[in-house]
């Protein structure tokens, strides 16, 4: 495609921020094909599930205790809790809760988790403004597409430099979504992106600690604040992405405007959303799938295993290669422990699988010690595994969870099952059913306040 904002500039991306802002501003509900609206609904249902289940995790509890609550008739809903908080604090706490379990969705265009910062910001703002369900869907889509375009702009260099893209790119996504919901024009939206960009932060070195979910919460709050400030005339550069010492130059030193402006296959990055069905870092999922398949098809028992080799993209070792995890949280970022879970038959979709007790469980530690991780120069989310048995047999398998689903109905059924498993213990069967139905009917909702009220705690 050719864009007047970049034509004739040699592909250097002059006016890139304004161009991306203009696209976010122009996106309306009527522009979204039915299947894309369906994916938005799936993203939000998945978000409510992981947020409700994650809201009583320790880092979220600390944040909720630290940040002041509001009266019952003021502030915004804290999802899964029986309390409310101020606008920005609600976005922060809900954003952190939605990422606390590391069970939320992924998009490879941004090398991160697209829904958590955008949903936490736009839902808090929509509750305040009384926006309709269709307005929320359009705003969410605008924010999602924006963060993925900026992800394509900076490419893998950003992630490999050590930045947590959910935190950095998510700040832009939240800002674009909230600017769209507020009805800002393209210039004000570009300003909001500038305000978001100067706040964008988050380090991969914090993976395995409470700071990782804090990143998602801060991205939601920062993006929401950016849009609100821009609406009030707060100033910023409107070329934050492409300017000297701007975001692309300082956050990985890569700037690919053509990639940012190119339409993805199918026209929407939302069509490439990937959902998690194991409650751990996404880069462990292909390994888990491959080894679960071998265990099932070959009838492997843990005591049969002499050695295991897992071959993955070398970049995985910067994220999820904690060889000897000491806590349940660290097991989410351990390919070795993931392999042991899979071969021992532990249910990797259950939240309590990733416990401190299982980090120290003797059979898992022993089996994890037999796992050798081999880095490959081939990029991607794939994994190849080889299991050597004591009888001399060598069994091999491969998997790649980076391929989007083509059957949205089947994907929806899996998300419904995940939603029920995560939400029902907190809201009860009736509460979970009511909330699920409200999310399914979002496009017809005059506002989202009823949906958020259904997500509150104390209904079981």
> What confidence score (pLDDT) does residue 262 get?
96
- Domains of the chain, by residue range, sit at 16-275+407-454, 282-400
> What confidence score (pLDDT) does residue 12 get?
53
Give the helix/strand (H/E) hosting 312: strand 305-313
Q: What CA–CA distance (Å, rounded) separates 382 from 324?
A: 23
> What confidence score (pLDDT) does residue 458 get?
57
* SS (HEC) of 189-206: HHHHHHHHHHHCCCEHHH
- List, for residues 326-376, the tens digit of each pLDDT value: 999 899 999 999 999 999 999 999 999 999 999 999 999 999 999 999 999
> What confidence score (pLDDT) does residue 411 get?
96
DSSP letter assigned to residue 406: S
pLDDT surpasses 70 at 9: no
Q: What CA–CA distance (Å, rounded) separates 310 from 52?
A: 34
Please state which of the ranges 174-183, 322-331, 390-399, 449-458 shows the lowest mean pLDDT: 449-458
> What confidence score (pLDDT) does residue 1 get?
29
Average pLDDT over every residue of 274-285: 94
Average pLDDT over every residue of 166-193: 98
Helix, strand or coil, per DSSP, at residue 223: helix
- List, for residues 54-108, the tens digit of each pLDDT value: 999 999 999 999 998 887 778 999 999 989 999 999 999 999 999 999 999 999 9
- 198 Cβ neighbours under 8 A, 6+ residues apart: 236, 240
> What confidence score (pLDDT) does residue 274 get?
97
Superfamily holding 282-400: 2-methylcitrate dehydratase PrpD (3.30.1330.120)
Q: Identical fold at 16-275+407-454 and 282-400?
A: no
Which of 46-55, 202-211, 315-324 shows the highest mean pLDDT? 46-55
Please, where are the H alpha helices in 246-334? 247-250, 257-261, 285-298, 328-331
Q: Strand 84-85 vs strand 371-376: parallel, antiparallel, or unpaired?
A: unpaired
Asked if 92 contacts 220 with a C-beta cutoff of 8 angstroms, the reply is yes
Average pLDDT over every residue of 307-330: 92
- 403 Cβ neighbours under 8 A, 6+ residues apart: none
> What confidence score (pLDDT) does residue 10 get?
39
For residue 148, what are the CA distances in angstroms to 261, 273, 334, 379?
Answer: 10, 10, 27, 18
Burial label for 414, CB within 10 Å (0-12, 13-18, 19+), is middle
> What confidence score (pLDDT) does residue 2 get?
33
- Two tokens, residue 94: 């809900």
Angle among Cα 200, 40, 446 to the nearest 5 degrees reads 105
Asked if 255 contacts 248 with a C-beta cutoff of 8 angstroms, the reply is yes
Asked if 279 contacts 101 with a C-beta cutoff of 8 angstroms, the reply is yes
pLDDT surpasses 60 at 4: no
- Two tokens, residue 245: 């010492």
- List, for residues 185-241, the tens digit of each pLDDT value: 999 999 999 999 999 999 999 988 999 999 999 999 999 999 999 999 999 999 999
Asked if 165 contacts 151 with a C-beta cutoff of 8 angstroms, the reply is yes
Topology of domain 16-275+407-454 in CATH is: 2-methylcitrate dehydratase PrpD (1.10.4100)
> What confidence score (pLDDT) does residue 163 get?
96
**What's the mean pLDDT when you consider all of the chain?**
94
Average pLDDT over every residue of 9-20: 76
Terminal Cα distance for the chain, rounded: 52
Of residues 125, 132, 128, the one with CA closest to residue 178: 125
pLDDT surpasses 60 at 6: no
Q: What CA–CA distance (Å, rounded) separates 132 from 52?
A: 22
> What confidence score (pLDDT) does residue 460 get?
42
> What confidence score (pLDDT) does residue 189 get?
98
Helix, strand or coil, per DSSP, at residue 382: strand
Asked if 444 contacts 415 with a C-beta cutoff of 8 angstroms, the reply is no
């Amino acid at each position: 495609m050719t864009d007047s904002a970049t034509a004739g500039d040699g592909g250097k991306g002059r006016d890139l921020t304004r161009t991306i802002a203009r696209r976010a501003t122009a996106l309306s509900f009527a522009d979204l094909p039915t299947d894309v609206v369906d994916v938005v609904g799936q993203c939000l249902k998945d978000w409510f599930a992981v947020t409700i289940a994650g809201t009583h995790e320790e880092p979220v509890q600390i944040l909720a205790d630290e940040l002041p609550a509001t009266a019952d008739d003021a502030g915004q809903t804290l999802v899964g809790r029986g309390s409310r908080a101020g606008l920005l604090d609600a976005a922060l706490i809900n954003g952190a809760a939605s990422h606390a379990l590391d069970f939320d969705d992924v998009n490879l265009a941004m090398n991160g988790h697209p829904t958590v910062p955008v949903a936490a910001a736009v839902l808090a703002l929509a509750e305040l403004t009384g926006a309709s369900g269709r307005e929320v869907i359009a705003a969410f889509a605008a924010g999602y597409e924006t963060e993925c375009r900026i992800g394509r702009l900076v490419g893998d260099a950003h992630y490999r430099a050590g930045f947590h893209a959910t935190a950095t790119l998510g700040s832009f996504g939240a800002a674009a979504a909230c600017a769209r919901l507020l009805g800002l024009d393209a210039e004000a939206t570009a300003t909001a992106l500038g305000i978001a960009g100067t706040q964008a932060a988050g380090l991969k070195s914090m993976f395995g600690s409470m700071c990782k979910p804090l990143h998602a919460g801060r991205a939601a709050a920062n993006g929401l604040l950016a849009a609100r400030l821009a609406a009030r005339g707060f100033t910023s550069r409107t070329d934050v992405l492409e300017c000297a010492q701007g975001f692309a130059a300082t956050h990985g030193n890569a700037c690919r405007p053509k990639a940012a402006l190119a339409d993805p296959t199918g026209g929407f990055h939302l069509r490439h959303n990937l959902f998690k069905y194991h409650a751990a870092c996404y880069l462990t999922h292909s390994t888990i799938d491959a080894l679960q398949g071998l265990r099932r098809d070959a009838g492997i028992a843990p005591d049969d295993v002499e050695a295991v080799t897992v071959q993955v993209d070398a970049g995985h070792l910067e994220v999820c290669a904690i060889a000897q995890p000491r806590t349940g949280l660290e097991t989410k970022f351990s390919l070795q422990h993931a392999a042991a879970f899979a071969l021992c038959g532990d249910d990797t979709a259950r939240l309590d699988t990733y416990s401190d007790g299982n980090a120290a469980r003797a059979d898992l530690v022993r089996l994890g010690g037999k796992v050798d991780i081999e880095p490959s120069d081939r990029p991607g989310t794939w994994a190849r595994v080889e299991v050597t048995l004591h009888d001399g047999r060598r069994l091999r398998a491969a998997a790649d969870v980076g391929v989007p689903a083509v059957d949205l109905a089947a994907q929806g059924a899996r998300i419904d099952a995940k939603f029920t498993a995560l939400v029902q213990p907190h809201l009860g069967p009736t509460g979970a059913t009511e909330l699920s139905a409200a999310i399914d009917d979002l496009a017809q909702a005059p506002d989202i306040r009823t949906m958020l009220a259904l997500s509150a705690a104390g209904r079981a």
